[in-house]
Amino acid sequence: MLKKLNAEPDIKKQDELNIQVETQLFKDGFGVPLFQFPEIVSFNSKKIQNVKGIPLSPAYFWNYWEWTTAS
């Protein structure tokens, strides 16, 4: 399917082939994460502000450059 896709000039047919390729990759489990780190965001909002979570892991110090001390 990939060889056909690489040689196909028609955009509509490319879309059809892309769907077939993606369907097969999903069936094969391609790109499925083997594990994921749980995210826990815990902080004292009276002492620090602008702490945010992120869907990517590990995210222990995500956006630390935006953290500020509370007034």
Q: Say whether pLDDT at 67 is over 70.
A: yes
Q: 5 and 28 share a domain?
A: yes
Q: Do 45 and 69 belong together in one domain?
A: yes
Write out pLDDT tens, residues 37-53: 666 677 888 999 988 87
Q: Indicate if 43 and 18 belong to the same structural domain.
A: no
- Whether the per-residue pLDDT at 35 is higher than 70: the answer is no
Do 25 and 37 fall into the same domain? Answer: no
pTM exceeding the 0.75 threshold for the entire prediction: no
List 69's β-bridge partners, or say none.
48
Are 50 and 19 found together in one domain?
Answer: no
- For residue 70, the enclosing domain spans 33-71
Structurally, the chain folds into a number of domains equal to 2
Contact 52, 62 (CB under 8 A): yes
Question: Do 27 and 48 fall into the same domain?
Answer: no
Same domain? 19 vs 50: no
